[in-house]
Amino acid sequence: MTVQTADPAAPGEIAGKSGTTFFWPMLLLPRPKRAAMFAIYAFCRQVDDIVDEPGPLEKKRAALAVWREQVRSLYMGGAPVGPVAAGLADAIARYHLPRGELEAVIDGMAMDLGTPLRAPPLDTLRVYCRRVAGAVGLLAIRVFDRADAETEAFALAVGDALQMTNILRDLEEDAAIGRLYLPRELLVRAGISANDPTEVLRHPNLGKACDALADLAETRFAEADRLMAGWPRRRLWAARAMMMLYRRMLDRLRARGWRDIGRRPRLRRAEKAWVTLRCLAGRPPRS
């Protein structure tokens, strides 16, 4: 069984071409950790692309099934197929990555197969965030440092906050492919009964629902702050940098408002590098 991917590039190339906010925090890690994080990122990118790119539903399901089998095979001592799987195999061996979290990422992506998520219940959104973001956080902390109960709680809080920020940033892009991740409860509280993405994005009360989700994201950022308050400043510096960059993105989304959602705020490359370097030096910016 082979893993079919659209891009046979090495994990580092995939991360470098993606424009991800996480690139600088990953790039400045020591070489083995950098290679592991690039592999995790490239794996997530590839399974996400399977779901997002046009194509027959059955073909997408089959492609995800191939990745499930490849992950299973890696833990059984099987040979990796392709550069991403090879990088993942090395990361698994070096950092003892839990198989269940890699499978959770695939499970999360699979939630977007078939009928797109549209105004899911908040509990469903939390499951989605846990799988597509929390799982990545639980993999990353094993590469960055270690995985005790407090660090895992930190990773899950950051994962929720980052994914909720992504949802708010990508409202228009998601609507174009029939998706709407704003949870049902927040829409109803804002006086929006529709669940059609286009209709919801045109609703005059959209801002109320978006602000409510931003509040939930900020609550999770604050929980992450609380958990790391007593840590040495350089501990998990890469995760701290990722968190700070996304918190800036959330602040700019709120400052922009929710009328012109097609105008996506962006963090400059120099800003990403500066925040990352400050965190690496143990002197993170105040905001």
Give the tens place of pLDDT for each residue, 147-203. Answer: 899 999 999 999 999 999 999 999 999 999 999 999 999 999 999 999 999 999 999
Looking at the predicted structure, is the pLDDT value of residue 90 above 60?
yes
Predicted model pTM: 0.93
Residues 101, 233, single domain; the answer is no
Hey, what are 257's tokens? Answer: 């408002």
Q: Which residues of 230-263 are buried (b: 16+ CB within 10 A; e: fewer)?
A: eeeeeebbbbbbbbbbbbbbbeebbeeebeebee
Query: Looking at the structure, do residues 163 and 254 belong to the same domain, yes or no?
Result: yes
User: Domain range spanning residue 166?
Assistant: 115-258
| Whether residue 109 is found in the same domain as residue 125 | no
pLDDT at 19: 76
pLDDT, tens only, 228-279:
999 998 999 999 999 999 999 999 999 999 999 989 999 999 999 999 999 9
In a domain, 287, yes or no: no
Residue where a domain stops, chosen among 114, 130, 164: 114
What is the per-residue pLDDT for 7?
47
- Would the pLDDT of 2 be above 70? no
From 93, 114, 135, the end of a domain falls on 114
Query: 149 and 28: one domain?
Result: no
- The pLDDT of residue 3: 41
pLDDT tens column, 119-151: 999 999 999 999 999 999 999 999 998 889 999
- Does any domain span residue 120? yes
pLDDT of 6 > 80? The answer is no
Under 8 Å between Cβ of 33 and 91: no
Return the closest-CA partner of residue 154 out of 261, 92, 227.
Answer: 227
The domain that contains 14 carries what CATH number?
1.10.600.10
The number of distinct structural domains making up the chain is 2
- pLDDT of 12: 77
